[in-house]
Amino acid sequence: MPDPSAIVIVIVILVAVLVMVPLIVIAVRKVRQATASRAGSGAGRGGPTGPAGAGAPARPAMVPGALAPAAIVTGPTAPAAKTVLDYVDERTIVLDVDDTDRDAVIRRLAGLMSATGRVLDEDAVVRAALDRELISTTGIGEGIAIPHAKCDGATEPVLAFARSQAGVDWNSLDEAPAHLIFMIAVPEAAAGTEHLKVLAQLSRSLMKPSFRASIEMAATPAEVLEALASSVRPAAPAPLA
């Protein structure tokens, strides 16, 4: 006959097992539920525990003491600064003009401007340019003249260019004939801003011997525009090694 004390021990063990197993199962379920709950919460926030949505990358964990990345602020993009290239095109360029008279060249260039639609009163532009010559010559020397007209015969700033092989008597400061002639026309309202910007850009370009040589040798109006573009646009930065 089995020892009664041994039977009692076996019963106690069985009862303990029957009681502990359900408790262990319940505890495991609770742990799993808590883990699933945290994972779902992290996914909803798009935090490090999971992506914010299907295919979305998780946010990188923050290092204690590190600064949070700055927010990217977007807004209206500032318009690009204008250059002389915005005021001249192939229609306003004439190479190797036959005119040797200053006034005739001015009229020729005003006619080219009129063809662009930016000059509505060609005669008014011619008068304004000739009146400016009475104040002081626009023949700056070195074979260059920059006549300019400020009047409302022009609706927008416009630039024209003529090249003369023979040269034009422009009453220049150095008394040399003008071979490279840039004419500017601007409406009165833009005279204090665009007029000066165009003059400044042209002056900087014409100071470069390489630019002058390029437009002297240009075979087409397109080549004149290429020379202008190379002169007024900054060179692209060299690639890093």
Q: Catalytic site residue 148?
A: yes
Using CA atoms, how far apart are residues 126 and 141, in angstroms rounded to an integer? Answer: 22
**Cα 225 off chain centre by:** 20
Residue 198 has a CB neighbour count (10 Å cut-off) of 25
Name the catalytic one among 102, 118, 148, 212: 148
Using CA atoms, how far apart are residues 116 and 6, in angstroms rounded to an integer? Answer: 116
Residue 234 has a CB neighbour count (10 Å cut-off) of 5
Tell me whether strands 158-168 and 93-94 are parallel, antiparallel or unpaired: parallel
Is the separation of the CB atoms in 166 and 100 below 8 Å?
Answer: yes
The H or E element spanning position 164 is strand 158-168
| Residues labelled as active-site residues | 148
